[in-house]
A and B are shown apart, each in its own frame.
Chain A
Amino acid sequence: MSILVIAEHDNQSLKGATRIAVAAAAAIGEEIDVLVAGQGCGPAAEACAQLAGVKRVKVADADHYAEQGAENVAALVVAQAGGYTHLLAPATTFGKNLMPRVAALLDVAQISDIVAVESADTFVRPIYAGNALATVRSVDAVRVITVRTTAFEPVVDGGAGAVEAIEAGADLGLSTLVGRELTKSERPELAGARIIVSGGRGLGSGENYHAQLEPLADKLGAALGASRAAVDAGYVPNDYQVGQTGKIVAPELYVAIGISGAIQHLAGMKDSKIIVAINKDPEAPIFQVADYGLVADLFQVVPELTSALD
Chain B
Amino acid sequence: MKILVPVKRVIDYNVKVRVKSDGSGVDIANVKMSMNPFDEIAVEEAVRLKEAGLASEVVAVSCGVSQCQETLRAAMAIGADRGILVESAEELQPLAVAKLLKAVCEREQPQVVICGKQAIDDDANQTGQMLAALMGWAQATFASKVALGDGVVNVTREIDGGLETLSIRLPAVVTTDLRLNEPRYATLPNIMKAKKKPLDTVTPQTLEVEVAPRLKTVKVSEPPKRSAGERVADVAQLLDKLKNVAKVI
**Which of B64-72, B104-112, B231-239 is found at the contact surface with chain A?**
B231-239
B221 near A135 with CB under 8 A, answer yes
Chain A residue contacts of B232, Cβ below 8 A? 292-294
Interchain CB contact (< 8 A) of A108 among B161, B214, B222:
B214
Interchain CB contact (< 8 A) of A228 among B16, B134, B178:
B178
8 A Cβ contacts from A175-224 to B: 175-183, 191, 195, 220
Chain A residue contacts of B17, Cβ below 8 A? 128, 131-132
Quick one: closest B residue to A131, CB to CB? B17
A252 near B248 with CB under 8 A, answer yes
Alpha-carbon separation in the docked complex, A292 to B238 (Å): 7
Chain A residue contacts of B62, Cβ below 8 A? none
B125 near A136 with CB under 8 A, answer no
B231 near A294 with CB under 8 A, answer yes
Say yes or no for A19: interface residue by CB 8 A criterion: no
| A125-145 contact mask (Cβ, 8 Å, vs B): 1 or 0 | 011111111111111100000
Say yes or no for A80: interface residue by CB 8 A criterion: no
Q: In the assembled complex, how far is the CB of residue A181 from the closest CB belonging to chain B, in whole angstroms?
A: 5
8 A Cβ contacts from A67-81 to B: 69-71, 74
Known A-B contacts A245-B177, A289-B226, A292-B232; A174 and B169 likewise in contact (beta carbons under 8 Å) = yes
* Chain A residues touching B, range: 35 or more
| B174-215 contact mask (Cβ, 8 Å, vs A): 1 or 0 | 000111000000000000000000000000000000000011
Most buried by A among B140, B214, B226: B214
B229 near A293 with CB under 8 A, answer yes
Chain B residue contacts of A232, Cβ below 8 A? 178-179
A137 near B216 with CB under 8 A, answer yes
Interchain CB contact (< 8 A) of A139 among B154, B216, B241:
B216
Alpha-carbon separation in the docked complex, A36 to B140 (Å): 22
A128 near B123 with CB under 8 A, answer yes
Quick one: closest B residue to A130, CB to CB? B223
Known A-B contacts A92-B160, A289-B226, A301-B235; A74 and B133 likewise in contact (beta carbons under 8 Å) = yes
Quick one: closest B residue to A306, CB to CB? B235
What is the predominant secondary structure among interface residues of chain B facing chain A?
mixed
| A158-177 contact mask (Cβ, 8 Å, vs B): 1 or 0 | 00000000000000011111
A137 near B242 with CB under 8 A, answer no
Say yes or no for B120: interface residue by CB 8 A criterion: yes
| A287-298 contact mask (Cβ, 8 Å, vs B): 1 or 0 | 111111111100
**Which of A26-34, A58-66, A236-244 is found at the contact surface with chain B?**
A236-244
Q: In the assembled complex, how far is the CB of residue B178 from the closest CB belonging to chain A, in whole angstroms?
A: 6
B161 near A103 with CB under 8 A, answer no
Alpha-carbon separation in the docked complex, A232 to B177 (Å): 12
Chain B residue contacts of A12, Cβ below 8 A? none
Chain B residue contacts of A93, Cβ below 8 A? 141-142, 157-160
A109 near B228 with CB under 8 A, answer no
Q: In the assembled complex, how far is the CB of residue A28 from the closest CB belonging to chain B, in whole angstroms?
A: 16
B139 near A178 with CB under 8 A, answer no
A70 near B129 with CB under 8 A, answer yes
Chain B residue contacts of A305, Cβ below 8 A? 235, 238-239
A131 near B215 with CB under 8 A, answer no
| A226-257 contact mask (Cβ, 8 Å, vs B): 1 or 0 | 00100110000111000011010000110000
A128 near B26 with CB under 8 A, answer yes
A132 near B221 with CB under 8 A, answer yes
Alpha-carbon separation in the docked complex, A304 to B229 (Å): 22
Chain B residue contacts of A134, Cβ below 8 A? 217, 219-220
Alpha-carbon separation in the docked complex, A128 to B27 (Å): 12
B residues at A contact (CB < 8 Å):
11, 13, 16-17, 19, 26, 93-95, 98, 117-118, 120-134, 137-142, 144, 154, 157-169, 172, 177-179, 214-223, 226, 228-232, 234-236, 238-239, 241-242, 246, 248-249
Given contacts A175-B169, A239-B158, 11 further A-B contacts (CB under 8 A): A70-B129, A74-B133, A101-B130, A109-B214, A128-B26, A133-B223, A175-B139, A179-B164, A182-B161, A276-B242, A287-B228
